[in-house]
Structure 1
Amino acid sequence: MPEWFNQTFSPLIEYARRVGRRQLLLVGGGGLLALLLAGGLLHWATRPDWAVLYSGLSEVESARVIDELEAQTVPNRLTKGGTAIEVHRADLYRVRVKLAAKGGPVARTPGYDLLDKQRLGISDREMAMMEKRALEGELARTISELDWVTRATVHVVTPKPSLFSDEEIPVTASVTVITDPNRNVPRAEVEGVVALVASSVEGLHPGRVTVVDGAGRLLTEASTESEGAFGETNKQLELTRRKDNYLSKAAQDLLDQVLGKGHSVVRVSSELDFTVLEKTSRTFDPQNQVVRSQERQEESSSAQDTSQTAQENSVTNYEVNEILEHLKGEYGAIRRLSISLVVDGNYVPGGEGETTYVPRTPEEMQKLEQIVKTAVGFDDRRGDQIVAQNIAFDSTQEETENTLLRQLKTQDVWLDILRKVLFLAGILIFLSVLRSTLARINHTISQAFDEKRSLIMTEEGLEEPEAEVDDSTLLMDAEAGRSPEQRKRLKLHAKVVGYCKNHPEEAAKLVKAWLGN
C-alpha cells in the first residue's frame, strides 16, 4: 500500500480492532445522530418564510410570472395546482413592485401608446380601428385600477353612421371585470363603471353598457322592457337602501366626532314615496278681462220724404284670463323616517385598574338626540320617530380579540426564541459529541503509537533512544511482513517489557520466585 495510506489509516484501523464492534457502532451512530440533529435544526431555523405573490392565475399568467421571476433569480414555488405563486416574504413587496411596473401578472393592455406607433400610408379604416383599440385599452386600464377589480376588458361597438336617423344603430359597450370570488360587488360600484364608460364614449347611453364578471354573471340590470315591475322594484329598493345608508352615515359621523368611534350606533330607516303624481290645472278669472278685438259697424240712410235712419253695431271680443299649472310630484320623496340611537355610557377609572360604568344624564341624551334629528332632517309633521337609549356596550368580544391578538404575538416571539435556542443547543451538542469522539480517537491513536514503538524496540533488542524517532517509520517497520499471531506475541512481549521497566523491583522478585521453583 502507499506510504501515505498507511500513515493516515493505520491508526484508525488499529483503533477499530482494539475497540469492540458494539462500542464502534455506538460511537459511529452517535456521531451520525449528532450530524442529523444539527442538520435538521439548521434547516428548520433557516428555512424561508413563503408568502403568496399572486393567486387565482391561469396557466398562461403563471408561466409569464415564473419566467419573470427566474429572470430576476427570485426563489419561487407553485401552489394550489399552479394557480398561486409564492416567494420569500423578504422579497414579496420588492418583487410585487417590479412586476407591477411591467404590467402585473398579465401583459399590459395597450392604450393610447398605440397611436405613438403610426406608420406611413395608414388608411382611414386602420386609423379608426387603432383609435378604437386605444380607447378600449385606456378604459380597461382605468377600470383595472379600482380596488375591487383585478383585471378588466372593454369592448365598444360603434356602428357606421346612417343617412336616416330612424335606421341608425346605437353605440353599445361591454365590460368584463375579474374580481375576487369571495367578494360581493355592490351595485353602486358597478354603476360607477357604467357611468365611467358611458362618459368616455361619444354617443353611448348608460343603458347600453353591459358589465359581467369573470363567471359570466350579469352585474348590470337589463334595459329591456321584459323586466317590467321587477326591475322597477329593484330600483326602488336600491334607492331606499342608499337613502338609509346616507342618512345613517351622516348621523354616525357626527356622533363619532362628539363621542368617539365605537361609543354610539345610529340607524335610519326611511319610507319613500315612489308615486309619480302629475297634475294639470286650468283656472279662469272672469274679473280681469282684457279686450282682445273690437268691431264697430255704423249704417245711415235718408228717404225723399226727408226721413233719416241710423244703425250702429258693435262687437267686442274679450280675452279670458286663464291660469295653467302642471305639477309633478318628486320621485322617491321621504314619507317618514324611523331612527334608532344607542349610546354607550361613561366609564370612570377606579381602583386596581378597574372601570365603573356611569349612565349618561337625561340632558346629555336629549342633546345627542337633537344632534341626530338635525343631521337627518327630522320632521314631526311627517310623523318621524326617534328612539334613543343609553345602554352599556358589550366589550367582551373586543377584549377577547385583543387578548387573542396579544397571545398570538407572544407565541410568535417565543417560537422565534425557541427556534434560535434549539439551533444553538443543537450546535453545542454536535460540537460536544464531535470533541469527545475526536479526543477518544486521538487517545487511542497515541496508545497505538506507543505500543508499536515498544514492540519494535523489544524485537530489535534495543533500548529506547533518547532522541525522537519518527512514529510513522516505526509503524511501517512493525507491520511489514508480520502475521497476526506474531503481532499478538510481540504485543504481549511488549507489555511484559513495559511492566518490567515501570516496576523493576516487583519484576525482580517475580523472576527470583520463578528461579527458585
Structure 2
Amino acid sequence: MAATTDTLADTPPPGNPVERLREAFNRLDGQQKMGLMIAIAAIIAIIVGTVLWSQQPDWKVLFSNIAEKDGGAIVASLEQQNIPHRMSDSGAIMVPANRVHEVRLKLASQGLPRGGMVGFELMENQKFGTSQFAEQVNYQRGLEGELARTIMSIGSVQSARVHLAIPKPSVFVREEQKPTASVLLNLYPGRGLEPAQIAGITHLVSSSVPQLASSNVTVLDQNGSMLSQLKNKLTEAGLDPTQIKYVREIENTIVQRIEEILKPVLGPENFKVQVAADIDFSQSEQTAEIYKPNSSPETSVIRSTQNNEMASVNQSAGGVPGALTNQPPVPATAPLTTPPTGNTGAPGKPGKPGENQGQVDAAGITAPLNALGQPISTTKNSTTNYEVDKTIRYTKQGMGNIRRLTTAVVVNHRKDVDKAGKPITKPLPEAEMKQINDLVREAMGFNKERGDSVSLANAPFTEITKPDHSLPVWKDPENISYAKDLLKYLLIAAIVAFLYLKVIQPSLKTMFPPPKPEEPTTAEGVAGAAGHVAISGEPGEDGEGAEVHIDHYAVKVQKARDIAQADPKAVANIIKDWMGANAA
C-alpha cells in the first residue's frame, strides 16, 4: 500500500502546458534543440509561403499594344491609386483579375488611354504669344485626333488615324484648292466593314471639315486595301447596298411566313424553303390630261358670256374725186321741202313730235336715222364659252415594287416502320402535297399576273451529323479556373498533413515520451499498477507475470473492472489516496 502511494506521488500532476513544454525542451540536448528549432522554422516558412501563394491573385491583361505615352500615364495613375500592377514580357499592363473592370472604368473617367493621339485638349494649353500658324497646326492636330477617336467607337475598328490636308485660303487665287482627307483603319482580326459603314465614315470626315467633299476622302485598312474605292465602284455600277439589303429583307420575310405556316404541319426539320425576289427599283412620274367629247349646252357649265353691239352711220360717197371732195362740209341748211325737226314717222304717216323719220330701203325695212338724217347700221354679237370636261392625272410610281417572286420548297419523306421493324421513309400523298402547295401560295402572296412561280418537291433528306463545337470539359476556361483553385487548396492541405504527420507528431513524441511502467512487488503494487494502467493507458503486468499491451479504451476499462472485482479494497485505497493528494 505504501509503495503504491509513493509511486503515484512521484507522478507529476498536470500543470501549465507552457511549463511542460519548457521542461520538455530543457530535457533535450544541444543537437536535439537545434534540430527542433530548424524544424519549427521550416514549418513556419512553409506555412507562410503556402498562405502567400494561395492569396496571390490571378493577373489579367488590362491594356495591351498601347503607346508609350499612354502606358506611362496609366502606370502613374495606378501607382497613385495604390492598385497592384505589373508589366508582362510583351509590354502589356496586368492587374488582379478581380479588379480589371473596376480599373478600366476608373481610367476611362480620366480619359485613359488616349490611343496615342491628342484631341482638342491640345488647345487648352496654348501659351501666350503663340503664332497664328502654330495655332492653326494645333487645331488641325486636335481635329484629326477627335475624328480618330470618333471612328474608333465603331465596333470593328481597333484603331484609326486621320490625316487632313487643308489648303491655306487666299484671295489672290481664282480657283482655290479643295481640302482632302485620308483615314487609315486598323480592324480587329476576322472583322470587316460594310459599305454603309464605309460611307458613314466618309461622310463623318467630310462633314467635319469645311468645303470637304465626300469624294475627296480616302479610307484604307491595315492591309492597304482602299475601302472607299470599293464603295464608289458599287455606286457607279448601280449597286446600292441598301437595295441589296432590302431584297434580302423581303426574301427573309417571305421565307419566315412560309416556315411559320408549315412548321405545325411538317415539323421544323422536315422542309426547306428558299425565295428569290425580283424587285423594281426604278422610279417614274407620269402626268396625263384626258378630254371628254363635247356635251350638250344644257348639261354644260357656262364659263363666260360676251355680248357685243355696234352702231355706225352709213355715209354715201358723193362729189367729184379729187381735192374738192376733201373739202370740209359746208354748214347744213334745212331744205324747204324737209319736214320740220322732230316730226318722224313711217312713210305716209305724220311723224310724232320728238321722233325722226327713218329711211326705207329696197327691202322695205326702215333703218333708223341720226340727227342729220343719216341711216344708222347696228351689229350685235353674242359669244358663250362652256367649260371643257378635262381630267388631269398625276402618277408617281415608287421604287421597291415586287416584279416577281420565285419560291422553292422541298419536303422530306415521312418516316415509317416496315413489317420487320426497320425505319423507312415514304413519300407524301398527292392530296397532301397539293394542300402544302396551296398553303405556300397563300403565305407568299402568289400573284399569277405578276408571273410568280412555286416549285414543290418531295424527296428524302440526307441525315447530316452536326459537328460538336463545344469544348471538352478539360478545355473549358471556367472548369480550368475551378480546377486551379481546387488544386491550390488540395496542395495546401497536403502540405499541412505532411508537416503534421512527419514533423509535428514525431517532435511531440520526442518531447513528451510516455512514462515507463514499474513492476509491482506486492498485491497492493499490483493493484496500483493496474490502476495506473487504467488511468494512464500504459502496459502493466497481471498476477501471472505476462506482459499485456492494451491498445483500445474498452479493453482498458474492462481491465480496470477486473482488477476492482479482484481486490476492491486496494482500488478504494488508491482512490482515497488520489483524493487526498488533490486536496493537498
**CA–CA separation in structure 2 for the residues paired with 1:122 and 1:29:** 73
Residue of structure 2 in register with 1:194 after alignment: 202
Q: What aligned pairs does 1:121-270 form with structure 2 within 5 A after superposition?
A: 128-129=136-137, 131-161=139-169, 167-221=175-229, 232=236, 236=239, 238=241, 241-248=244-251, 250=253, 269-270=276-277
**CA–CA separation in structure 1 for the residues paired with 2:102 and 2:154:** 22
Kindly indicate whether residue 503 of structure 2 is the aligned counterpart of residue 434 of structure 1: yes
Residue of structure 2 in register with 1:56 after alignment: 65
**CA–CA separation in structure 2 for the residues paired with 1:76 and 1:58:** 18
Cα 1:87/1:256, change in 2 over 3 Å: farther
**CA–CA separation in structure 2 for the residues paired with 1:115 and 1:16:** 74
Q: What aligned pairs does 1:327-366 form with structure 2 within 5 A after superposition?
A: 336-339=404-407
Cα 1:123/1:216, change in 2 over 3 Å: same
Match of 2:492 among 408, 423, 427: 423
**CA–CA separation in structure 2 for the residues paired with 1:10 and 1:337:** 104
> In 1, are the aligned partners of 2:255 and 2:275 still within 8 Å (CA)?
no
CA RMSD of aligned residues (A): 6.1
Task: Give the CA deviation at 1:402.
Answer: 9.4
> In 1, are the aligned partners of 2:25 and 2:511 still within 8 Å (CA)?
no
Residue of structure 1 in register with 2:300 after alignment: none
Cα 1:381/1:143, change in 2 over 3 Å: farther
Match of 2:444 among 373, 377, 381: 373
Cα 1:243/1:160, change in 2 over 3 Å: same
Cα 1:58/1:12, change in 2 over 3 Å: farther
> In 1, are the aligned partners of 2:274 and 2:408 still within 8 Å (CA)?
yes
1:47-80 deviation line (CA, Å, top 9, x unaligned): 422322223335555455444434433333444x
Cα 1:269/1:10, change in 2 over 3 Å: farther
**CA–CA separation in structure 1 for the residues paired with 2:509 and 2:114:** 63
TM-score after normalising by structure 2: 0.47
Q: Aligned with 2:203: secondary structure?
A: helix
Residue of structure 2 in register with 1:450 after alignment: none
> In 1, are the aligned partners of 2:85 and 2:96 still within 8 Å (CA)?
yes
Residue of structure 2 in register with 1:462 after alignment: none
**CA–CA separation in structure 1 for the residues paired with 2:28 and 2:41:** 21
Cα 1:140/1:432, change in 2 over 3 Å: same
1:173-196 deviation line (CA, Å, top 9, x unaligned): 222233213323333322221122
Task: Give the CA deviation at 1:247.
Answer: 3.0
**CA–CA separation in structure 2 for the residues paired with 1:271 and 1:405:** 51
Task: Give the CA deviation at 1:266.
Answer: 6.6
CA radius of gyration, larger in: 2
Task: Give the CA deviation at 1:94.
Answer: 0.9
Q: What aligned pairs does 1:441-452 form with structure 2 within 5 A after superposition?
A: 441-443=510-512
**CA–CA separation in structure 2 for the residues paired with 1:155 and 1:427:** 64
Residue of structure 1 in register with 2:83 after alignment: 74
> In 1, are the aligned partners of 2:206 and 2:213 still within 8 Å (CA)?
yes
**CA–CA separation in structure 1 for the residues paired with 2:97 and 2:55:** 13
Residue segments in structure 1 that go unaligned for 5+ positions in a row = 1-6, 18-23, 289-301, 307-326, 345-359, 448-517
| One-letter amino acid matched to 1:11 | L
1:21-63 deviation line (CA, Å, top 9, x unaligned): xxx9xx9999999889867865664442232222333555545
**CA–CA separation in structure 2 for the residues paired with 1:192 and 1:137:** 18
Cα 1:211/1:411, change in 2 over 3 Å: closer
**CA–CA separation in structure 2 for the residues paired with 1:411 and 1:95:** 25
1:98-128 deviation line (CA, Å, top 9, x unaligned): 2222333335754455555667776665665
Cα 1:432/1:88, change in 2 over 3 Å: same
> In 2, are the aligned partners of 1:176 and 1:214 still within 8 Å (CA)?
yes
| One-letter amino acid matched to 2:444 | K
Structure with the higher helix share, 1 or 2: 1
**CA–CA separation in structure 2 for the residues paired with 1:329 and 1:102:** 55
| One-letter amino acid matched to 2:155 | D
1:74-104 deviation line (CA, Å, top 9, x unaligned): 333444x525333221011011112222333
Residue of structure 1 in register with 2:28 after alignment: 11
Task: Give the CA deviation at 1:436.
Answer: 1.2
Task: Give the CA deviation at 1:172.
Answer: 1.6
Q: Aligned with 1:86: secondary structure?
A: strand
**CA–CA separation in structure 2 for the residues paired with 1:73 and 1:126:** 39
Q: Aligned with 2:150: secondary structure?
A: helix
**CA–CA separation in structure 1 for the residues paired with 2:502 and 2:46:** 12
Q: What aligned pairs does 1:17-96 form with structure 2 within 5 A after superposition?
A: 42=51, 45-58=54-67, 61-79=70-88, 81-96=89-104
> In 2, are the aligned partners of 1:38 and 1:430 still within 8 Å (CA)?
no
**CA–CA separation in structure 1 for the residues paired with 2:194 and 2:79:** 39
> In 2, are the aligned partners of 1:240 and 1:271 still within 8 Å (CA)?
no
Which deviates the most, 335-344 or 133-142? 335-344
Cα 1:400/1:110, change in 2 over 3 Å: closer
Cα 1:46/1:118, change in 2 over 3 Å: closer
Q: Percent identity?
A: 26
Q: Aligned with 2:213: secondary structure?
A: strand
Q: Aligned with 2:219: secondary structure?
A: strand
**CA–CA separation in structure 2 for the residues paired with 1:430 and 1:99:** 46
Task: Give the CA deviation at 1:434.
Answer: 3.3
Cα 1:329/1:180, change in 2 over 3 Å: same
> In 1, are the aligned partners of 2:144 and 2:163 still within 8 Å (CA)?
yes
Residue segments in structure 2 that go unaligned for 5+ positions in a row = 1-23, 295-316, 322-394, 413-427, 517-584
Task: Give the CA deviation at 1:9.
Answer: 8.9
| One-letter amino acid matched to 1:428 | A
Residue of structure 2 in register with 1:458 after alignment: none
**CA–CA separation in structure 1 for the residues paired with 2:172 and 2:453:** 58
Task: Give the CA deviation at 1:12.
Answer: 4.1
Cα 1:160/1:411, change in 2 over 3 Å: closer
TM-score after normalising by structure 1: 0.51
